[in-house]
Amino acid sequence: MQFGWIVFAAAAVAFPVAGSVETAPIGAVSISAPSAPSAVKPRILATNLTRFEPLIGGRWIAEGELGGGRRYTAERRYEWLLDRRFVRLFQKLTVDGVTVEEEVTFGWDPAAGLLRMWSVASDGSFAEGAEKPAEGANRLVFEGRTVGGRTGQWRTTMLIIDPGSFSVLLEVRSDAGTYEPAMTLAYRRVADITPPADTTTAVDTLPVRRDTLSVDTTFRASY
Strands 126-131 and 86-95: unpaired
Q: How far is 66 from 73, CA to CA, in rounded Å?
A: 11
What is the band of 218 on the pLDDT scale with cuts at 50, 70, 90? very low
pLDDT of 211 over the 50 cut = no
Question: Is the pTM of the predicted complex or chain greater than 0.75?
Answer: no
Q: Using one digit for the tens of pLDDT, what is the confidence trace for 134-148?
A: 777 889 999 999 998
The whole-number average pLDDT for the span 167-189 is: 95
HEC profile of 111-157: CCCEEEEEEEECCCCEEEEEECCCCCCCEEEEEEEEECCCCEEEEEE
What is the pLDDT confidence band of residue 200, given thresholds at 50, 70 and 90?
Answer: very low
Q: What are the extents of the domains in the chain?
A: 47-198
On the question of pLDDT at 165 being above 90, the answer is: yes
Cα gap 153→173, rounded to integer Å: 5
* Phi, psi (deg, nearest 5) at residue 195: -65, 155
Domain covering 47-198: architecture: Beta Barrel (2.40)
Mean pLDDT along residues 17-25: 41
- What pLDDT, in 10s, does the model give residues 25-79? 444 444 445 455 455 444 445 468 988 999 999 999 999 998 888 999 999 999 9
pLDDT per position as a tens digit, 79-130: 999 999 999 999 999 999 999 999 999 999 999 999 999 999 999 999 999 9
Question: For 167-190, what is the mean pLDDT?
Answer: 95
